[in-house]
Amino acid sequence: MLRLKEAVVVEGRYDKIKLKSLVDAPVIETNGFRVFSDKEKQNLIRKIADTRGILVLTDSDGAGFVIRNFLRGVVDKSKIKHCYIPQIEGKEKRKSQKGREGLLGVEGVSDDIIINAIKASGATIIGEEEKMSDDITKPDLFYLGLTGAENAEKNRKKLLSYLNLPSYLSTNAMLTALNCLYSLGELKNLCEKIL
């Protein structure tokens, strides 16, 4: 498993599932073309890019390049790296037929291809000795009153609003975003201030 400094941006949930099995890094979905009109998602991606940088890994078809090019306009060029998978004909196992261009997407290519593409992209691979510390965990969210408490949902919405993060983030997605943007100490200070 590769531990990356950058957060990885992918198109959809199956790409995210695939990447989470290969990398130790936050993985953010664009939800396909929805990112074009989703200002909250754009803002989240921009904030994450400013904090730790992003690695864009989209399908090698035309739609993947449209999304990739859109993200170039959303994020500062110095904060974005691009990872390209080769164009391989085929279809994903879960699909009944090939896509429009007949190419495998991120979810369909082999693990080795993705790992080699990430290494070739210039992504920052962190060695175990440089392990990032102070990650925010689910128990931390519980102790801060963001899960499992009477007002947890209200507290999460208040925090998301204060941080200008998408209001529809699930608890797991919020945890990913918080780990991209804040340390545990910073989150504790924020919660003391606004909750």
DSSP 77-96: GGGEEEE-----B---TT-S
Are 100 and 166 members of one domain? Answer: no
pLDDT at 23: 97
Token pair of 78 as six digits: 């110095």
pLDDT at 40: 95
Are 143 and 115 members of one domain? Answer: no
pLDDT in tens, the chain (195 residues): 999 999 999 999 999 999 999 999 999 999 999 999 999 999 999 999 999 999 999 999 999 999 999 999 999 999 999 999 999 999 988 888 888 899 999 999 999 999 999 998 989 998 844 445 568 999 999 999 999 999 999 999 999 999 988 888 899 889 988 988 888 999 999 999 998
Are 153 and 182 members of one domain? Answer: yes
Name every residue whose Cβ is closer than 8 Å to that of residue 193 and which is 6 or more positions away in sequence. Answer: none
pLDDT at 133: 54
What's the CATH number where 92 sits?
A: 3.40.1360.10
pLDDT at 135: 84
Q: Chain-centre distance of CA 101, in angstroms?
A: 26
What does the chain come to in residues?
A: 195
Are 123 and 157 members of one domain? Answer: no
Are 142 and 70 members of one domain? Answer: no
Domain interval for residue 47: 2-129
Are 142 and 86 members of one domain? Answer: no
Measuring CA to CA, which residue among 106, 93, 142 is closest to residue 27?
A: 106
Are 11 and 83 members of one domain? Answer: yes
Domain count, the chain: 2
